[in-house]
Amino acid sequence: MQWSIEAGAWLLLPILLLSAALTWLLYRNHPFKRDDGSTPRVVWLMALFRFLALFLVLMLLLSPVIRLRKNQVEQPLLLVFTDQSHSIGALADSANIAQWYQSQLDGVAANVFGASSVRIIPFGCGIEQKQGGLQQPCTDMERAFREAADRFAGQHIGAVVLVSDGVATSGLNPAYLKNPFRAPLYTLGLGDTAVKKDLFVRKAEAPRVVFMGNELSVEADISAKGFNGKALQVQLQEQGNIVARQTVQPSGNPPYARVRFPVQATTPGMRQFKVVVLPEAGEWSMRNNSAAVLTEVVDERQKIALVYSGPHPDIGAMKSALAGAPAFETRVFDLAAFRTQPVETYDLIIWHQIPGFIADAGVIHERAAAAGVNMFYVLGPSSRLDALSRLEPALRITAPGARSNDAQGVWNTAFSGFTPEPGWEEAMATMPPMQVPFGSYARSEALEVLAWQKIGSVLTSNPLIAFNTSEKRKTGFLLGDGLWRWRMHQYARNQSHESFDRFLLRLLRYCAVRGNRKLFRVEPLKQVFSTEEYAVFDGVLLDRSMTPVAGKRIEVQLEGPSGYRKSLTMSPSGTSYRLEASNLPPGTYSYSAGIDGMPGQSVKGSFVVMEQQRELQQLQADWQSLRLMARNNGGLFAEAAAAEKLFDQIKARNQIKALLRSEIKVTDALDSGWYMLAVLLLLCGEWMLRRVFGAY
């Protein structure tokens, strides 16, 4: 316990003198003298009690505080990550590994560090809730480490042990994985590093969308470890029927072959194909001899016109994204050439900086609006905001001059038009800022905002991307200049334009759909899910004023392969509804959704769940990555059979030490019960002595 004085220690002397003076005034003529005139010793005790009580009371004027220090010894934790993925379950001794995980590993670690200090963390696609099974469909060490770092944030981690075969099918390569803990990382290797004879379909591909009457191509990569030069039979199957056959002869190191099956798209709808390589004698596993792909055959394309008033890199970015979209028939015009086009035949017109100071669409815009053609406006320095406000009164921008702000986009979580792909909400916040008009914004209540403007650190109520739906058509707005920077930024991060292109196509597809907005929608997040993930559905229910309706019970009926039937209920998610269906067997599913108490409202649709065999594509353990992980993070590598020896080495290195944590609690003396009790006891003690000796 420590004392300190806020007002200054030099004031203690006046307090002492004042306390002594007041005590002397009280006891200078005391009535306790003996017959011979001497003073009894008890008087000095009474005076001392009064002096101390006065001193403590006057001390309160100096605002004294009491500091109490509490020391606590925190023992370090040993985190042991255990790989529960399918590749571990495919090992010949998987039963022994599962038993070792369940009943022996924690005991081995506890013998060295104590049971209370060991935390066993099973993981697969992330941290699992329970140990055992070895059936997780993927291995994501990066996610497991990140989730564990959140769970054990603020706790004292002494060491981390990773038990795995080193094969990661999701997330970063283990060799480059950053250890989020301030502790050395040790690795224990499972599996076998020997090359096994195995055939597997490493990757199967088909176009996501193809138009009826065209030819689609199903291609696949065949890996043939141990079968170099062997003639292999490969089949293309659809609904169990053999569509085509080919014979391939793999070559190279490692042996590899690529196969291509041309198929005519003669019927519309979702079509699922399976590439199967027939098994050969001596194969290690036959569970990875096939891979499925899905393609959608559609019988019409949406026509899009991209109209510009002058050259700009945003036009190139949109043109490149649309060029890879078979669902769109896109043509690019300057405004002069577009004036002679039959605008009524287009589903969507993208006006780049039109209306503008350089060019104005005029009559052609009115003709397109009268025909119910959807519009999408991309603003820039040449845009005329007053003219745009007259054409599209749902959004009015009043700008005092040709001034602009740099604004980043922030996804509006309340936007219900469509659901972004995973990661796009976070990615948008990191995009380079766009140049947006500086001025005052006014928008109608019907305007749907997809992204807000964030200027500097301030999130504004001004839209960056928005849509308006009227009775005849839909209108979209991109109120910033610099879309091409977003595309380049995504390429720098992912070495691919695919993520940006999918986002832009999703945005334009939403704007290009003709017809009124449905009041009740239930749609899967995507058309194809893997067995490794949840099948996610989003639902929206609106009243006639386009206001979201919450609190309704929405039932979804699923029907799938082999008589699969299940009834699920959607959960409220803000102003919309969401459903996550798990453990769906692979196959084609149909769904129907209805609202309890509203029999007239129902929707139907379909989706596909495809089995992925990523965990079975590499059965050879990657101990080299485990060695690099340990070496880069101050640890050691050992085979799982030498687990006891590794734990002994961890303790012998003396890196796991207890941590002394000190907690200081500061309390005002006036708020301290002990302080005031001391004053009370001193005064009561003096009173009792005076009472006994006859002064009261």
Question: Average pLDDT, stretch 454-476?
Answer: 90
Element at 650 (helix H, strand E): helix 643-652
For 2, list phi and psi in degrees, rounded to 5.
Answer: -130, 150
Alpha-carbon distance 414 to 448, whole Å?
Answer: 9
| 449 vs 301 pLDDT, higher one | 449
pLDDT in tens, 387-437: 888 888 899 998 887 788 999 999 998 887 777 777 888 888 889 999 999
For 85, list phi and psi in degrees, rounded to 5.
Answer: -80, 170
Alpha-carbon distance 403 to 390, whole Å?
Answer: 20
pLDDT in tens, 630-681: 999 989 999 988 998 998 888 887 666 666 666 667 777 666 777 788 888 8
Alpha-carbon distance 1 to 24, whole Å?
Answer: 32
Residue 268, pLDDT above cutoff 90: no
Q: How far apart, in Å, are the Cα atoms of 456 and each of 407, 432, 434?
A: 7, 12, 12
* Domains observed in the chain: 2-70+664-692 (no CATH), 76-190+620-657 (3.40.50.410), 198-298 (2.60.40.10), 302-512 (3.40.50.880), 520-614 (2.60.40.1930)
Q: Mean pLDDT for the chain?
A: 83
Alpha-carbon distance 383 to 392, whole Å?
Answer: 14
Asked whether 477 and 442 are in contact (CB, 8 A), the reply is no
pLDDT in tens, 238-263: 888 999 999 998 888 888 899 999 99
Name the DSSP letter for residue 319: H
Tokens of 585: 């067997």
Give the closest residue to 448 by CA, choosing from 481, 421, 474, 484: 474
| 451 vs 618 pLDDT, higher one | 451
- Tell me the H-state helices in 519-587: none
Most confident of 108-117, 219-228, 539-548: 219-228
Residue 225, pLDDT above cutoff 90: no
- Tokens 């084609």, located at residue: 588
Residue 494, pLDDT above cutoff 90: no
Q: What is the pTM of this model?
A: 0.49
Question: Average pLDDT, stretch 32-39?
Answer: 66
Q: How far apart, in Å, are the Cα atoms of 273 and each of 234, 277, 291, 459, 608?
A: 13, 13, 8, 47, 12
pLDDT in tens, 327-346: 788 899 988 888 888 888 89
**Where does the pLDDT of residue 516 fall: very low under 50, low under 70, confident under 90, or very high at 90 and above?**
very low
- The whole-number pLDDT of residue 51 equals 87
Q: How far apart, in Å, are the Cα atoms of 262 and each of 10, 204, 216, 232, 310?
A: 96, 13, 6, 19, 42
Which residues, at least 6 apart from 411, have a Cβ–Cβ distance to it below 8 Å? 420, 424, 425, 428, 429, 450, 451
Number of H helices, E strands in the chain: 16, 36
Which residues, at least 6 apart from 359, have a Cβ–Cβ distance to it below 8 Å? 309, 310, 335
